[in-house]
Amino acid sequence: MGGGLITIERHIIDQQKLHPGARGIFSNLLYDIALAAKIIARETMRAGLADILGRAGTVNVHGEHQQKLDVFAQETMVAINNHTGRLAVMASEEADGIIPIPREYGCGPYVLIFDPLDGSSNIAVNVSIGTIFAVYRKVSPGECGAEEDCLQPGSDLAAAGYVIYGSSTMLVYTAGHGVHGFTLDPSLGEFLLSHPDIRIPEEPRYYSVNQGYESRWSEGVRRYVKWLQGMDADEPRKPLSARYIGSLVADFHRNLLEGGIFLYPSDAKNPNGKIRLTYEAIPMAYIAEQAGGYASDGRRPILDIRPEALHQRTPLFIGNRDLVEKAEEFIRRYDS
């Protein structure tokens, strides 16, 4: 292998050296997640070939039909992570309650929260989808973890990341020392460091929102999006281009690399928006902040919110800090 290539394993080991007392448990957990990502990526790539497309015939806790790949991704994440002794408990967007670690495997000090395959309605049309994950330290008193371990605020995160299954597969993560992106080299089966220390560009290019729901938006959100479009008479600005895939990981990833804002506000039909706080908003918020951006529910930082329920939803405004703060300003002014 060329001396210039940095595999995810080497990178994780280097990061571990920033924590002199580290025992390697956390590093190995990140490596387990990378392995699960490779397995899910392999199946995702084959989705058009194998008889794997279509609905699995089950409905998840949100009442949505699960695609077969959702089930596969869910089972893969659990199978790779439940026997390692590194985790105390898990929680997944595709499971109702917490996912306990079987006693015989023994429990460890970390907690893994994930959305195994986000944007799965896009699978059938070959649009990018992703896996989102968050890692906390166990805080509950028992030997193994409990629900309270899975309801920690984002300010207590140990790590967060996502995998995007796109034209290439990428894993992007932060453990509090910047955001790093790795691209899967399919011939090697290795994630290689391709995007070290990602910073969201200061000059934003895009805004991403489902404009089809505009008629349901609040006054503040409507006026804010007009402002993004450069159509606010009092405060004209250079219009941003609109891009909306309808796959949070893909929309977020583009805006992280190119600059911009993704918003999924509350509206007349969905008073809490659609995005899940624990599985989607919190991990993405941590990544955004580590890259110099910001995430809000329109009134307060996402990372300050302590979840009350596993499947709680939240409005989400995420991207360049000044754009997100501007959203908060419009909401304060028009929606109070």
> By the criterion CB under 6 A, which residues form the site for ligand AHM?
64, 93, 115, 118-120, 210, 246-248, 264, 274
Q: Taking CB under 5 A as the rule, which mask of x and - marks residues 264-303 in contact with Mg ion?
A: ----------------------------------------
Measured from the CB of residue 311, what is the shortest distance to ligand AHM in angstroms? 11
Determine, following the binding rule CB under 5 A, whether residue 70 of this chain makes contact with Mg ion: no
Residue nearest to Mg ion (CB): 118
Interface with Mg ion (CB under 5 A), residue from 70, 94, 115, 267: 115
Measured from the CB of residue 90, what is the shortest distance to Mg ion in angstroms? 16
Judged by CB, which is closer to ligand AHM: 95, or 146?
95
Judged by CB, which is closer to ligand AHM: 73, or 80?
73
Stretch touching Mg ion by CB under 5 A, among 53-61, 79-87, 109-117, 181-189: 109-117
Q: Are strands 260-264 and 206-208 parallel, antiparallel or unpaired?
A: parallel
Other Cβ atoms closer than 10 A to 79: 11
Judged by CB, which is closer to Mg ion: 107, or 123?
123
Cα–Cα distances in angstroms (integers) from residue 10 to residues 25, 28, 136, 217, 269, in the given order: 15, 11, 22, 47, 47
Output Rg (C-alpha) for the chain, integer angstroms.
20
Measured from the CB of residue 62, what is the shortest distance to Mg ion in angstroms? 9
Measured CA to CA, the distance from residue 174 to residue 166 in angstroms comes to 20
Determine, following the binding rule CB under 5 A, whether residue 251 of this chain makes contact with Mg ion: no
On whether the CB atoms of residues 327 and 296 are closer than 8 A, the answer is: yes
Measured from the CB of residue 326, what is the shortest distance to ligand AHM in angstroms? 21
Residue 98 touches which member of Mg ion, ligand AHM, none, C-beta under 5-8 Å by kind:
none
Judged by CB, which is closer to ligand AHM: 103, or 269?
269
Stretch touching Mg ion by CB under 5 A, among 113-121, 184-192, 194-202, 215-223: 113-121
* Nearest of 205, 128, 209, 125 to residue 162 by alpha carbon: 128
**First-last CA distance in the chain:** 59
Report the sign of the C-alpha dihedral through residues 216, 221, 226, 228, in that order: negative
Measured from the CB of residue 143, what is the shortest distance to Mg ion in angstroms? 31
H/E/C letters for each residue in 256-296? HHHCEEEEECCCCCCCCCCCEHHHHHHHHHHHHHHCCCEEE
Residue 169 touches which member of ligand AHM, Mg ion, none, C-beta under 5-8 Å by kind:
none
Sequence-distant (6+) residues with CB within 8 A of 109 are 25, 86, 88, 137, 138
Binding interface with Mg ion (CB under 5 A): 115, 118
